[in-house]
Structure 1
Amino acid sequence: MGAGVVTRWSRRFVAASAVFLVAWQVGALADGLGAASAVAVPRRTRVVLAVYGFVLHAVFGKAYSLVPSYFDRSLAPVRAPAVHFPLTVLGAMGLAAAPLAGVPELAGTLGALSWSAGVTVFVAALAWTVRDNPTGRETGTGGANAHRRGVDRLANAFVPVVLAYLAVGSYATLASYLGLPGFETLAAARTAHLLAAGVAALLIFAVGFRLFPRFLVASPPRPLVGVVLAAGAVGPAVLAAGLYREPLFRAGAALEALAVVGFALAYALLFARSERRRVGFYAVLSGAAAGVCGVSLGLGFAFASLAASPALTAVHLRLNVLGFLGLTVVGATYQFYPPTVGRFPGASDRSALASVALLAVGLLAELGGALADSPPAVLAGRTSALAGALVFAGLVLGVFAER
């Protein structure tokens, strides 16, 4: 019964994530339309929809179902997801609404309080669940996967780091509204890096090195796993502390690039070694490629080979969050919830592949448009991404509605 409760709430987090994804793409398209758009969508709103809404709700949902089992435990407070869910959903909505014209500042304060309360529930629930196995030495790995135990233990050891980043990033969010001590100079961009790179990306590295080798029935190079996890754990802190300040900015960008490129290489090797070919695997491969492009731009900003123009910083965010994190989330979602189990029109691998292609091609068009200073190309890319997000959300929500 407990497992069923967690599974149902995990699906609700993923469903909320899909809705936030669509909202983000609508906001991005409105921003791309500029003066022609009836509603101005501030950058801060789009970042909140992207990171707090889309990415982190997917993280919450799958962490509740995967992390306890990866530590050979069951989620101890089974009702924690039910308490957590409305808090972070409402919190993200409040934080996203706060920068909009005409919205009182109180919306942001209440959103930050609600978000922080939800995160407290999440961190406390997972910490209590693994309290007697904090480093994940017990992995639940056995049988045919016994040879993976070393990588599994290494990956588990970084999950507490993810929780620490989440706690710090959420405190920084709250501090910005309440004037709490300790993070007066931690601007929104630094907080977003803590949450996107320190929480979402690092959890993708840690969980991904357990999940994707099993999906693909292959093994990643063990030394590469250690390099990716170590760089992915240190990089976000250095990057957040030194954003646009030398020499930490360069060091943080280099560490994060090492982690993302290393993960992309590891996944590409897994993909090449595997005989399995499913839609979700292509999505993750596309996400890895987008991540390499995203961190390449970041290196360009850090080492002053590229000017951090508004257009390039926007596409940097989208390559990393919609591309690397987003397409990885999309790929994993299609593995856990295959569209082919649906009986509604369009529930097929072809539709799923179309959503991946629309997202990936849209990002490619945006990158080309930003580099060539071509607003029409950027607009076309964002239109394609919105279409891909709508197809993805439709498939996911349709499958959930029938369960």
Structure 2
Amino acid sequence: MSTASATVSRWTRRFVAAGACWLVLWSLAALFALPRRTEVTLVLFGFVFHTLFGKAYALVPSYFDRTLAFPRAPAIQLALSVLGTAGLAAVGLPWVPALVGAAGALLWAAGVAVFLGTLAWTIRDNLAGAETGTGDHDADRRPVDRIANAAMPVAFAYLAVGTAVLVAAHIPVDAPFPYAPQRTHLFAAGTAALLVFAVGFRLLPRFFVADPPKTLVAVALPSGAGAPVLLALTLPAGPIFRFGAALEALAVVAFALAVLWLIARSDRERVGRYGVGLGAISGVAVVGLGLSFAFVGLDTALVVTHYRFALVGFLGLTIVGVATQFYPPAVGEFPVDGDRLALGVLVALAGGLLVDAAGRLTDQPTIATGGLALAALGAVGYTWLLHGIFRQRARR
């Protein structure tokens, strides 16, 4: 491995490890009922985005048949993103001054600028992704790879807009998207979910050695690219909002069907498949709730379940499942079998979300708290798993 590749790989692992630590902090924030703003920031900006940033540095250049232009960029961004996330999460607490949030937003924006600037320069002569780096032995996958590539710059555009809006919300100007869930949907649906779709359609067929139906790919990616802007512009109600919710549901259901198709056709028995499958099923539950909000009306009792299933269920379980594909638990040194530990992590996270939702729906706070405690156990297990694998790699 070249020095530049080794540098990118090392910092990719550090981003993923940081993301796991943020997941633990989210679980504690949820368990101790910290404000929603803090909870969402910890899981979305902390866990989801730190993991996506790290893997994007490693994967996107190769998907566009390029080499990362600035191998030290991840090292610069990581400190900015960690500090920015910390400030944005802290300002959700009632005793923290607004200045901390403004500083956090600016640091986050600086990190995003490093990320987007580096990737934009890297793929500057292949922005549409026509060159896919797909080998001749996978020539039949090139059409899907090209469609997936084309969606990635759209996801990055959502990230740029969302970050600009976030900064505006923390400084004394009349900011667009004043309703916080509007901004959250730019990041969660516009960037994170769309990247999961795009990267997923490139990664998962190779992981599972199977191919998704091209029709599902053609439905999921354009729908997933167009829906978030409609949701962000029109939340929380209205005919365009309902259309956007239906379009996002179409994207998520198409992606979920593609994932389940790949799992069913694969003969590879790896623990990561359960995480990706559970994530897909959680995504269907998320858009089901979203359609209910759009066509029936907002149910405040279900809002928390909606965002937890979206951020920890759909995005989170998918991330954990893919992470165990990249970093096989069997290679780590643990007191128990690595694959069983990873399966336990998935069961704890998914089961904890279900128990929490059941407790909320039945107005049983003790049951909900038990579910969050189980999810926290899963978060700690995931962090222990990853750090154990990374320590093992560092010794080689």
**TM interval, short-chain normalised:** over 0.9
Question: Paired residue for 1:335?
Answer: 325
Q: Which structure 2 residues correspond to residues 102-181 of structure 1 after superposition, within 5 A?
A: 102-180=95-173
Calculate the TM-score normalised by the size of structure 2: 0.96
- In the alignment, the residues of structure 2 paired with residue 294 and residue 111 of structure 1 have an alpha-carbon distance, to the nearest angstrom, of 29
CA offset at residue 101 of structure 1?
3.0
- In the alignment, the residues of structure 1 paired with residue 344 and residue 110 of structure 2 have an alpha-carbon distance, to the nearest angstrom, of 38
Question: Paired residue for 2:249?
Answer: 257
Question: CA offsets, 1:234-272, max 9 Å, x none?
Answer: 111101111112012211111111111110000001111
Residue type of the partner of 1:21? L
- In the alignment, the residues of structure 2 paired with residue 264 and residue 339 of structure 1 have an alpha-carbon distance, to the nearest angstrom, of 25
Choose which of 281, 286, 290 in structure 2 pairs with 1:294: 286
- In the alignment, the residues of structure 2 paired with residue 326 and residue 238 of structure 1 have an alpha-carbon distance, to the nearest angstrom, of 24
Check conservation: 1:294, 1:320, Cα contact below 8 A.
yes
- In the alignment, the residues of structure 1 paired with residue 260 and residue 57 of structure 2 have an alpha-carbon distance, to the nearest angstrom, of 27
Question: Paired residue for 1:268?
Answer: 260
Calculate the TM-score normalised by the size of structure 1: 0.95
Question: Paired residue for 1:376?
Answer: 366
Q: Which structure 2 residues correspond to residues 348-359 of structure 1 after superposition, within 5 A?
A: 348-359=338-349
Check conservation: 1:362, 1:383, Cα contact below 8 A.
yes
Pairs aligned (count): 391
Residue type of the partner of 2:380? L
After alignment, is 369-378 or 204-213 more displaced? 369-378
After alignment, is 323-332 or 140-149 more displaced? 140-149
Residue type of the partner of 1:124? G
Question: CA offsets, 1:340-368, max 9 Å, x none?
Answer: 21124346100000000011111121222
Choose which of 9, 24, 27 in structure 2 pairs with 1:25: 27
Question: CA offsets, 1:10-38, max 9 Å, x none?
Answer: 0011011000000001010111xxxxxxx
Choose which of 295, 308, 314 in structure 1 pairs with 2:299: 308
- In the alignment, the residues of structure 2 paired with residue 234 and residue 179 of structure 1 have an alpha-carbon distance, to the nearest angstrom, of 30
Choose which of 234, 242, 247 in structure 1 pairs with 2:239: 247
- In the alignment, the residues of structure 1 paired with residue 150 and residue 109 of structure 2 have an alpha-carbon distance, to the nearest angstrom, of 24
Residue type of the partner of 2:325? Q
- Work out whether 1:214 is the aligned partner of 2:206: yes
- In the alignment, the residues of structure 2 paired with residue 221 and residue 373 of structure 1 have an alpha-carbon distance, to the nearest angstrom, of 42
Q: Which structure 2 residues correspond to residues 356-371 of structure 1 after superposition, within 5 A?
A: 356-371=346-361
Residue type of the partner of 1:281? R
Question: CA offsets, 1:262-292, max 9 Å, x none?
Answer: 1000000111111112111110100111111
Residues 353 and 165 of structure 1, relative CA distance in 2, 3 Å threshold: same
- In the alignment, the residues of structure 2 paired with residue 289 and residue 209 of structure 1 have an alpha-carbon distance, to the nearest angstrom, of 17
Question: Paired residue for 2:180?
Answer: 188
Residue type of the partner of 1:172? V
CA offset at residue 141 of structure 1?
0.5
> Is there any run of 5+ residues in structure 2 with no aligned partner, and where?
none
Question: Paired residue for 1:94?
Answer: 87
Question: Paired residue for 1:36?
Answer: none
Question: Paired residue for 1:3?
Answer: 5
CA offset at residue 165 of structure 1?
0.3
Instruction: State the Cα RMSD in Å.
Output: 1.2
- In the alignment, the residues of structure 2 paired with residue 185 and residue 209 of structure 1 have an alpha-carbon distance, to the nearest angstrom, of 31
- In the alignment, the residues of structure 1 paired with residue 18 and residue 299 of structure 2 have an alpha-carbon distance, to the nearest angstrom, of 32
Question: CA offsets, 1:107-139, max 9 Å, x none?
Answer: 111100000000000000000000010011000
CA offset at residue 193 of structure 1?
0.8
Identity %: 54
Check conservation: 1:174, 1:180, Cα contact below 8 A.
no
CA offset at residue 375 of structure 1?
2.0
Check conservation: 2:177, 2:183, Cα contact below 8 A.
no
- Work out whether 1:200 is the aligned partner of 2:192: yes
CA offset at residue 179 of structure 1?
3.3
- In the alignment, the residues of structure 2 paired with residue 71 and residue 97 of structure 1 have an alpha-carbon distance, to the nearest angstrom, of 37
Check conservation: 2:177, 2:232, Cα contact below 8 A.
no
1:102 partner SS:
coil
Choose which of 48, 69, 80 in structure 1 pairs with 2:73: 80
Check conservation: 1:283, 1:331, Cα contact below 8 A.
yes
Check conservation: 1:301, 1:308, Cα contact below 8 A.
yes
Check conservation: 2:356, 2:369, Cα contact below 8 A.
yes
CA offset at residue 180 of structure 1?
4.2
Check conservation: 1:158, 1:229, Cα contact below 8 A.
yes
CA offset at residue 294 of structure 1?
1.1
